[in-house]
A and B are shown apart, each in its own frame.
Chain A
Amino acid sequence: QQKVQQSPESLIVPEGGMASLNCTSSDRNVDYFWWYRQHSGKSPKMLMSIFSNGEKEEGRFTVHLNKASLHTSLHIRDSQPSDSALYLCAAETDSGYNKLTFGKGTVLLVSP
């Protein structure tokens, strides 16, 4: 079964609004979580990573991690139409080699 679960599957937010995306892993060996963004027809690009409990902020993007529950969330404030994309969460275990297990993704649409 899918080891990385993302929710919701899709999300519509108004321009200037807040988008909140969720991700949970069922693998207790996860060390890192990565968030990637993929615009339509393009390759995934890394947004943020987190490995410590707590919060990490970069510009309009904030990532939270609760290691006990293996849950991470990505929050985008002041959402822009250019943020419309597929957001992929990936978990990396302590096996090394940067092997990423991806969730199915959340499709975000920011409506003007």
Chain B
Amino acid sequence: EAAVTQSPRSKVAVTGGKVTLSCHQTNNHDYMYWYRQDTGHGLRLIHYSYVADSTEKGDIPDGYKASRPSQENFSLILELASLSQTAVYFCASSERTEVFFGKGTRLTVV
């Protein structure tokens, strides 16, 4: 099965601090995504990438940056973490068919 690994699995961050969430896939997939999940909102797309060194804005990009330094790695960066960014974040990868999700990172901003 496709492997998407996220780190850390959970994190507590202070308001105004910088947070980096990392994602690594061994599927050789071109497409990678960052979604956030909040109770009552399903999954919402933050950023995605279809090739290394390039990222695209998703549906809710404000307050987030993304970096894709290689095909395998995709990071999500919160430069100034805010309370409203408390959520579970999922990284995913795909190759034009099924999207495979990582196990998620629970981020709590205090």
Which of B56, B99, B100 is packed against the most chain A CB atoms within 10 Å? B99
Q: Is there a chain A Cβ closer than 8 Å to B44's Cβ?
A: yes
Q: How many chain B residues touch the partner (CB < 8 A)? A: 25
Which residues of A are found within 8 Å of B45, using beta-carbon distances? 99-101
Roughly how many angstroms separate A44 CA and B99 CA in the complex, as a whole number? 10
Which of A4, A88, A102 is packed against the most chain B CB atoms within 10 Å? A102
Nearest Cβ distance between residue B58 and chain A, in whole angstroms? 7
Complex contact B94–A102 (CB within 8 A): no
Given contacts A98-B31, A100-B99, contact A43 B104 (CB under 8 A): yes
Q: How many chain A residues touch the partner (CB < 8 A)? A: 19
Chain A interface (Cβ within 8 Å of chain B)?
4, 34, 42-46, 49, 88, 90, 97-105
Chain B interface (Cβ within 8 Å of chain A)?
31, 33, 35, 40-45, 48, 50, 56, 58-59, 90, 94, 96-104
Question: Beyond the given A45-B101, A102-B43, A104-B41, could you list 19 further A-B residue pairs with CB under 8 A, ordered by the A residue number?
Answer: A4-B42, A34-B98, A42-B103, A43-B102, A43-B103, A44-B43, A44-B101, A46-B100, A97-B48, A97-B56, A98-B97, A98-B99, A100-B43, A100-B99, A101-B45, A102-B42, A102-B44, A103-B42, A104-B40
